[in-house]
A and B are shown apart, each in its own frame.
Chain A
Amino acid sequence: MQTFFILAILVLVFVIILQISKASEYVSQIKGYEKARKQSNRINGFMLLGFLIFGLIGVYLCNEWLKGRILGEPASDHGELVDRMLYVTLAVTSVVFVCTQVALFWFAYKYQESDDRKAYYYPHNNRLELIWTVIPAITLTVLVGFGIFYWFKITGPAPKDAMVVEVVGKQFGWEFRYPGADGVLGKKYFKKVDAVNGNPAGQLWEDPANYDDVFVEQEMHLVVGKPVQLVIGAKDVIHDVGLVHFRMKMDAVPGTPTTMWFTPKYTTKEMKEKTGNKDFVYELSCDQMCGKGHWSMRGTIVVETQEEFDAWLASKKPQYLVANPDKDPNAKKDSASAALPMVSVVAQNKIN
């Protein structure tokens, strides 16, 4: 019913506008087109000026309204560079924006048609044109310079002590693999992927580096202050690892692994305090259109201290043992000592 009313009102407004338009056509016919034209010229001139003034006020109000909702402080070292670049660019473009828009609408208002003015024949001025070629060129060179400098810092090689996590996107969720104590991700081959038999990542069990790799879904754990390198892939279509708080983003492409690295600055707990939101979590969003569930392809990230992280990792069973329960020394010895420390599991695997 409500929809019907809205539609009815729209149609009514339409009809009214049409009638006014027709009437104004007749009025200008009576008044004389030239007179009517000059009148509407003045009205439009004022409206252009009004648009400029209310527009600039609107820009200010919009900023007041929404500035609190853009993300606060970046939560990674690279994020700081991104934000700095962003605010420098914002400053430069704001100045240009205000100057050019003011000039545009002010000229339009000031030089509206008038009987006592003759247009000034001014076809070119080489010096002026040179000035506004050179000044933007210099400004942009500076922006490009900063941009590329930061870009190389961000995309440069990861530090040697960075931890490695494999992130794989699929329709519609995230999978993570940790290299375990040896720090090396075991080899994998997509044709070995067999989720039913405990090998969702397609790991090659022949590779000993796979024995201690831990596989988890949907939730990634990272260590605060420790650089992390993400090795990114996708199973089916292109996804994108979007980390808004870290200001990082990288596509996940099937068949072509990509990487990115950064250092988380705050634990999830610290972010809860900083944002004043007790439900705060770091979210991992898919930023590349990947099918009908794209909008819900959400992962979460827990940033914690080294001790918390170690405890978490130790509580996970390596995928090798999940897939090959017969190889699990703990299973043989019954589940009494299930919480055996990670290291000894790895050691036993190596012996195997």
Chain B
Amino acid sequence: MSETLMTTATVAGQATTHHEEHGHHQESFISKYIFSMDHKTIAKQFLITGIVWAIVGGLFSVLFRLQLGYPDRAFPILETFFGQWAKGGQIQPEFYYGLVTMHGTVLVFFVLTAGLSGTFANLLIPLQIGARDMASPFLNMLSYWFFFLASVVMMSSIFVNTGPASGGWTMYPPLSALKQAGDGQKIGTDLWLISMALFIVSSLLGGLNYISTILNMRTKGMSMTRMPLTIWAVFFTAILGVLSFPVLLSGAILLLFDRNLGTSFYLSDIVINGEVLPNEGGSAILYQHLFWFLGHPEVYIILLPAMGMVSEILSVNSRKPIFGYMAMLGSLFAIAVLAFLVWAHHMFVTGLNPFLGSVFVLLTLLIAVPSAIKVFNWLTTLWRGNIRFTPAALFAIGFVSLFISGGLTGIFLGNSTIDIHLHDTMFVVAHFHIVMGVASFFGMYAGVYHWFPKMFGRYLNNTMAYIHFWVTMVGAYLIYWPMHYQGLAGVPRRYLDKSGWVNFNNFRDLDQMITIVTILVFAAQLLFVFNFFYSIYKGRKVRSQNPWGANTLEWTTPVNPGHGNWEGDIPEVHRWPYDYGKDGREFIPQTEPVSANESKH
């Protein structure tokens, strides 16, 4: 396929604007680039939609950081753009909580779930296991378009008169169930729930497809234990999603019923603004169980693909096999299983039975063991390597650093005794942003930098990439490291102005510092976005079929693979994907038969 057609594929997200221009081959354009069934195009659609959402979500965080850093300062420009929501240039409380809620929802679900899994599962599964496409290309296409529909609904909720949902991304009832509780609890919350339902459908269609493709469509010789760790990671991710998202769906549907049909699943004993509601017998805590039964696996749905890609990228760039492949696989499995057994650690202080709490402490801290194994194995993979610091490799190293930092603070929060003090403070915010937010973003960036040549046949600009990495890396620590101290001081999260408090009002300088760094880091992400779109058209062309000297199958396809990926037969696999530096050879692709005098491992 020609270069130009491949690049057009990237603008499928903005289909309508390009529609007219390509009228002369309208039909093929639509089937190739809009309602495409090619997994590579769908991956790009997920990625670009994810980037758009990431800009929106990131911009929201800049806005509420302005409020946090400068609570008594007016920014007239905000009123220009947001009118009544920023009256007098100051962000109003309803607006603030709407921003926080949308920031969380968008980044957790639309960027780090759809944008991350959607992109790399779609791109890598067929390419790395040696399949021409997904098991069901049609379901795969539907998966993207349900996500697109969910995006449209969520985006529209930002523009309704009463504002978007503002009950926090966890959407706990009764707050989210009662329209009387505030403006954000009106139509905005209904739209949020509908959007989430559509999103869940999308993620289930995607997940089932990923699982069946991996199980059924591996090429000859590609046994399960010869799969790259990326594939194992997205495999476990898909299983987690398929088993846990339906539970969130039920939770969301019951909440819709409570809101609109007068049921009492979550409501009981409520007097709001002097009005006594008739509901009795519901349990507000039930929702939290349903939510976190998804919500905790969700953390790993976000993190596992990043772990998989980091493993692959560290191995390729240190020119060494990943250390302890089976242990890496075992720990992925252990994490996937334990992910289902720890949800109540989000609920230690809800009045949960203390005995139940103690069981969840045990199971939660158990997750630290497979996590530790992974960290040590990554370190050993670097040890005595010959490391190339490609932008992807730097982001992978950054991921490990952040995963360590954020993982260790998890040991504080997973311990219910300490959680009593730290629960719902800025410590939690710092913890999960480092370990789930920034770390996963680093994994995603590593993936984008590493597989961009496969996606678009061009390289990203290295200088911009290095600036992007270093600003983000330093910025992430500057933002979140000192934030832990706020949490240790007990400053609650979601407080938009602390000046009315005697004990929480002594962090003004810190809040300002964090706000300034946030703006700079956001600017660095825009630089990445620019680099991304610029390089699609103007980047240096990839001339070699295997630019990183990697073993996996995607680099045996043409530089710009067409639909079907391989021009001739699908290659046969003869070995695991990590034979780097073996027998004095820099790398041995998976397609090369094992020779008789090769050393065993």
A254 close to B (CB within 8 Å)? yes
A103 close to B (CB within 8 Å)? yes
Q: Which of A178-186, A234-242, A325-333, A339-347 is found at the contact surface with chain B?
A: A234-242
Q: Which residues of B contact A125 (CB under 8 A)?
A: 323-324
Question: Contacts A119-B581, A285-B492 given: A236-B284 contact, CB under 8 Å?
Answer: no
Decide: B269 and A44 in contact? CB cutoff 8 A: no
B461 close to A (CB within 8 Å)? yes
Write the A1-44 contact mask toward B (1 if CB under 8 angstroms, else 0): 00100000010011001101110110010000000010011001
Decide: B372 and A136 in contact? CB cutoff 8 A: yes
Q: Could you tell me the distance between the alpha carbons of A137 and B477 in the complex, rounded to whole angstroms? A: 28
B361 close to A (CB within 8 Å)? yes
Count of inter-chain pairs, beta carbons less than 8 A: 379
Q: Please tell me which one of the listed residues B382, B417, B510 contacts residue A82 in the complex, with CB atoms under 8 A apart.
A: B417
Question: Contacts A136-B372, A148-B358 given: A295-B418 contact, CB under 8 Å?
Answer: no
Q: Could you tell me the distance between the alpha carbons of A123 and B531 in the complex, rounded to whole angstroms? A: 36
B533 close to A (CB within 8 Å)? no
Q: Could you tell me the distance between the alpha carbons of A272 and B533 in the complex, rounded to whole angstroms? A: 59
Question: Contacts A97-B408, A289-B172 given: A108-B271 contact, CB under 8 Å?
Answer: no
A62 close to B (CB within 8 Å)? yes
Q: Could you tell me the distance between the alpha carbons of A71 and B507 in the complex, rounded to whole angstroms? A: 12
Decide: A237 and B601 in contact? CB cutoff 8 A: no
B182 close to A (CB within 8 Å)? yes
Q: Could you tell me the distance between the alpha carbons of A2 and B77 in the complex, rounded to whole angstroms? A: 11
Write the A178-217 contact mask toward B (1 if CB under 8 angstroms, else 0): 0000000000001101011000001000000000000000
Q: Please tell me which one of the listed residues A82, A133, A236, A279 contacts residue B270 in the complex, with CB atoms under 8 A apart.
A: A236
Q: In the assembled complex, how far is the CB of residue B205 from the closest CB belonging to chain A, in whole angstroms?
A: 32
Of chain B, the residue at the smallest CB distance from A152 is B354
Total A residues in contact with B, Cβ cutoff 8 Å: 128
Q: Which of B1-9, B138-146, B481-489 is found at the contact surface with chain A?
A: B481-489
B404 close to A (CB within 8 Å)? yes
Decide: A289 and B268 in contact? CB cutoff 8 A: no
Decide: B387 and A292 in contact? CB cutoff 8 A: no
Q: Could you tell me the distance between the alpha carbons of A36 and B272 in the complex, rounded to whole angstroms? A: 67
Decide: B181 and A253 in contact? CB cutoff 8 A: no
Write the A102-146 contact mask toward B (1 if CB under 8 angstroms, else 0): 011101100111100111111111001100110011001001101
Question: Contacts A59-B481, A140-B365 given: A295-B175 contact, CB under 8 Å?
Answer: no
Q: Please tell me which one of the listed residues B369, B380, B424 contacts residue A122 in the complex, with CB atoms under 8 A apart.
A: B380
Q: In the assembled complex, how far is the CB of residue B372 from the closest CB belonging to chain A, in whole angstroms?
A: 4
A150 close to B (CB within 8 Å)? yes
Q: Could you tell me the distance between the alpha carbons of A327 and B581 in the complex, rounded to whole angstroms? A: 92
Interface positions of B from 451 to 499, Cβ below 8 Å from A: 461-464, 466-467, 470, 473-474, 477, 481-482, 485, 488-490, 492-498
Question: Contacts A82-B418, A280-B502, A283-B501 given: A256-B284 contact, CB under 8 Å?
Answer: yes
B397 close to A (CB within 8 Å)? yes
Question: Contacts A44-B389, A62-B481, A151-B357 given: A86-B423 contact, CB under 8 Å?
Answer: no
Decide: B489 and A71 in contact? CB cutoff 8 A: yes
B425 close to A (CB within 8 Å)? yes
Q: Could you tell me the distance between the alpha carbons of A117 and B186 in the complex, rounded to whole angstroms? A: 64
Q: Please tell me which one of the listed residues B77, B93, B368, B416 contacts residue A136 in the complex, with CB atoms under 8 A apart.
A: B368
Q: Could you tell me the distance between the alpha carbons of A124 and B315 in the complex, rounded to whole angstroms? A: 13
Q: Which residues of A contact B366 (CB under 8 A)?
A: 140
Decide: A235 and B386 in contact? CB cutoff 8 A: no
Decide: A193 and B271 in contact? CB cutoff 8 A: yes
Q: Could you tell me the distance between the alpha carbons of A196 and B353 in the complex, rounded to whole angstroms? A: 37
Q: Please tell me which one of the listed residues B269, B404, B463 contacts residue A190 in the complex, with CB atoms under 8 A apart.
A: B269
Q: Which of A47-55, A221-229, A302-310, A312-320 is found at the contact surface with chain B?
A: A47-55
Q: In the assembled complex, how far is the CB of residue A234 from the closest CB belonging to chain B, in whole angstroms?
A: 9
Q: In the assembled complex, how far is the CB of residue B256 from the closest CB belonging to chain A, in whole angstroms?
A: 18
Decide: B350 and A253 in contact? CB cutoff 8 A: yes
Decide: A86 and B510 in contact? CB cutoff 8 A: no
Write the A239-259 contact mask toward B (1 if CB under 8 angstroms, else 0): 010101101111101111111
Q: Which residues of B contact A191 (CB under 8 A)?
A: 276
Interface positions of B from 91 to 142, Cβ below 8 Å from A: 93-94, 97
Decide: A247 and B420 in contact? CB cutoff 8 A: yes
Write the B379-404 contact mask toward A (1 if CB under 8 angstroms, else 0): 11011111111000010010011001
Decide: B376 and A118 in contact? CB cutoff 8 A: no
Of chain A, the residue at the smallest CB distance from B174 is A237
Of chain B, the residue at the smallest CB distance from A279 is B502
Q: Which residues of B contact A81 (CB under 8 A)?
A: 417
Q: Could you tell me the distance between the alpha carbons of A100 and B382 in the complex, rounded to whole angstroms? A: 12
Q: Which residues of B contact A250 (CB under 8 A)?
A: 349, 351
Decide: B510 and A66 in contact? CB cutoff 8 A: yes
A348 close to B (CB within 8 Å)? no
B210 close to A (CB within 8 Å)? no
Write the B341-358 contact mask toward A (1 if CB under 8 angstroms, else 0): 000000001110010011
B156 close to A (CB within 8 Å)? no
Q: Could you tell me the distance between the alpha carbons of A327 and B280 in the complex, rounded to whole angstroms? A: 32
Q: Could you tell me the distance between the alpha carbons of A291 and B189 in the complex, rounded to whole angstroms? A: 13
B515 close to A (CB within 8 Å)? no
- Interface pairs (16), CB distance under 8 Å: A18-B530, A21-B531, A40-B389, A40-B462, A69-B485, A78-B420, A82-B418, A82-B421, A93-B408, A97-B405, A111-B387, A118-B581, A119-B386, A249-B349, A255-B284, A292-B94
Ranked 8 nearest A-B pairs via Cβ: A255-B268, A244-B490, A258-B351, A155-B354, A119-B581, A44-B389, A120-B384, A21-B463
Interface residues of A (CB under 8 A from B): 3, 10, 13-14, 17-18, 20-22, 24-25, 28, 37, 40-41, 44-45, 47-48, 51, 55, 58-59, 62, 65-67, 69-71, 78-79, 81-83, 85-86, 89-90, 92-93, 96-97, 100-101, 103-105, 107-108, 111-114, 117-125, 128-129, 132-133, 136-137, 140, 143-144, 146-148, 150-152, 154-156, 170-171, 190-191, 193, 195-196, 202, 232, 235-238, 240, 242, 244-245, 247-251, 253-259, 277, 279-281, 283, 285-296, 298
